[in-house]
Amino acid sequence: MWRVTNLPAHRPERVVMKFGGSSVADPEKIKNVARQIAAAHERGLEVVGTVSAMGKTTDSLIALAHDVSPDPNGRELDMLLSTGERIACALVAMAIHDLGHVAVSLTGSQAGILTDSSHTKAKITEIRATRIEAALAEGKIVLVAGFQGFSRETMDVTTLGRGGTDATAVALAAALGAACEIYSDVPGVFTADPRIVPDARKLLAISYEEMLEMSASGAKVLMLRSVELARNHGVRIHARSTFSDEPGTWIQENTGMEQPIVSAVTHNESEVVFTLSGIPDRPGAAATVFDAAAAAAVNVDTIIQNVVHGVAELSFSVPAEDVPATRGAIDVATAALGTMEIEENHDLGKVSLIGAGMRSHPGVAAKMFRTLADLDINLEMISTSPIKISCMIERGDIPRAVRALHAAFELEREPVAE
């Protein structure tokens, strides 16, 4: 059994509370966030809050940069973008003051968030939390501007790229020995997207591994990056709703005795599949393609290669937003490998089953394929990991595939280890 009793029985003494851009989109929402942070402080916790920029601020700043410059300098773009979170943080701190608590907002650099020097996609290297610790010791609530840090090497402001504020929250929790609460407009992690599967069930807890696979295969609750960071530092994440006091989903080490075979069905409708044919089948051909893709920062997901009559056919899927970069990477590869036939398929989607228990249950894949076959759904590509099976199918078939798989694996019921 995956037992609820294995969840922590006492509240942590310290908590990092993270609120996304939609939670601080206007003054009323900012005051609401302030109330939640103040309430945690009133319950006796030491509280560090971190927030994203208000609503679509970051998008607006990026648009402004592109109005000024066709190719904005990375260092300056970071200087620009980092202001969004500072604004939100200062406003939340003001609102907390009005509730009778003392709050202090800190920029990434004031908070001691050290990163490498990769502008617009910096990685956190260390957190020197002396200033945060001092403020907490004085009984203050600390607000840290998310999504940013600074490079000790260049002394410049950096930003952390996609999922940056979640990463800030998890890294702070790791440095401070705190639990990490990530608030958003969804109440937790579900067995499937409730908009597609009406009886989808909110999970009480899920392991880091499963959450990683879910994030990688389309679940939008948490960014892959922050889950990875949490796993590496043993930070427990509580993913919950900004608009409700109900418990959400804990992402943590698996503490149950046994693991559910299948925890959830996820799907992704925003991938594009590239197929390259006529590639010379010589050592390093695939490497040339994916070196170029990596250099262009393309997030390649599924990869399949077939060799027929000495000529390889290579298919891979990428997120829709990486399509221009992928085209550029293919041009680079073509220059090295010679002309290839290139196809783009924008009509596919991916449905995935995630479950830590499936590695010891080889029948899961077969049951999945049979369920989809019964719906007359063709499998275009298949990829697997020890705890995940993904199928690329026609995008229009995604909703009924998700519903059928959710029902076939009885995910609406509390899982029972078999």
Contact status: 201 vs its own copies (CB under 8 A): no
Using the rule CB under 8 A, which residue among 68, 294, 295, 311 binds its own copies? 68
Contact status: 132 vs its own copies (CB under 8 A): no
Contact status: 355 vs its own copies (CB under 8 A): no
Q: Name the one range near its own copies by CB under 8 A: 66-74, 114-122, 184-192, 310-318.
A: 66-74
CB of 243 to its own copies, least distance (A): 19
Pairwise CA distance, residues 295 & 274, whole Å = 17
Using the rule CB under 8 A, which residue among 83, 371, 384, 385 binds its own copies? 83
CB of 133 to its own copies, least distance (A): 14
Burial of 256 (0-12, 13-18, 19+ CB in 10 A): middle
Q: Specify whether the CB–CB gap between 116 and 150 falls below 8 A.
A: no
Contact status: 98 vs its own copies (CB under 8 A): yes
Using the rule CB under 8 A, which residue among 9, 44, 71, 283 binds its own copies? 71
Query: By C-beta, is 95 or 203 nearer to its own copies?
Result: 95
> Binding marks (x or -) toward its own copies, 9..38, rule CB under 8 A?
------------------x--xx-------
Query: Residue 196 CA to chain centroid, in angstroms?
Result: 20
Adjacent-strand bridge partners of 180 = 16, 237
Query: By C-beta, is 88 or 172 nearer to its own copies?
Result: 88
Contact status: 95 vs its own copies (CB under 8 A): yes
Q: With CB under 8 A as the rule, give the number of residues binding its own copies.
A: 38
Using the rule CB under 8 A, which residue among 104, 229, 389, 391 binds its own copies? 104
What token pair was written down for 40? 């945690």
What token pair was written down for 408? 């076939």
Contact status: 144 vs its own copies (CB under 8 A): no
3-state secondary structure the chain: CCCHHHCCCCCCCEEEEEECHHHHCCHHHHHHHHHHHHHHHHCCCEEEEEECCCCCHHHHHHHHHHHHCCCCCHHHHHHHHHHHHHHHHHHHHHHHHHCCCCEEEECCCCCCEEECCCCCCCCEEEECCHHHHHHHHCCCEEEEECCEEEECCCCCEEECCCCHHHHHHHHHHHHHCCEEEEEECCCCCECCCCCCCCCCCECCEEEHHHHHHHHHCCCCCCCHHHHHHHHHHCCCEEEEECCCCCCCEEEECCCCCCCCCCCEEEEECCEEEEEEEEEECCCCHHHHHHHHHHHCCCCCCCEEEEEECCEEEEEEEEEHHHHHHHHHHHHHHHHHHCCCEEEEECCEEEEEEECHHHHHCCHHHHHHHHHHHHCCCCCCEEEEECCEEEEEEEHHHHHHHHHHHHHHCCCCCCCCCC
CB of 38 to its own copies, least distance (A): 13
CB of 69 to its own copies, least distance (A): 4
Q: Name the one range near its own copies by CB under 8 A: 97-105, 112-120, 175-183, 200-208.
A: 97-105
Tally Cβ neighbours within 10 Å of residue 407: 15
Contact status: 107 vs its own copies (CB under 8 A): yes
Q: Name the one range near its own copies by CB under 8 A: 91-99, 303-311, 333-341, 386-394.
A: 91-99
Using the rule CB under 8 A, which residue among 79, 296, 342, 408 binds its own copies? 79
Q: Supply φ then ψ for residue 91, to 5 degrees.
A: -65, -40
Query: By C-beta, is 76 or 269 nearer to its own copies?
Result: 76
Query: By C-beta, is 65 or 304 nearer to its own copies?
Result: 65
Q: Name the one range near its own copies by CB under 8 A: 44-52, 78-86, 370-378, 399-407.
A: 78-86
Pairwise CA distance, residues 135 & 143, whole Å = 10
Contact status: 105 vs its own copies (CB under 8 A): yes
Contact status: 80 vs its own copies (CB under 8 A): yes
Q: Name the one range near its own copies by CB under 8 A: 1-9, 37-45, 62-70, 269-277.
A: 62-70
Using the rule CB under 8 A, which residue among 73, 232, 270, 378 binds its own copies? 73
Contact status: 157 vs its own copies (CB under 8 A): yes
CB of 118 to its own copies, least distance (A): 17
Interacting residue ranges for its own copies, rule: CB under 8 A: 27, 30-31, 61, 64-65, 67-73, 75-77, 79-80, 82-83, 86-87, 89-91, 93-95, 97-98, 103-105, 107, 110, 131, 155, 157
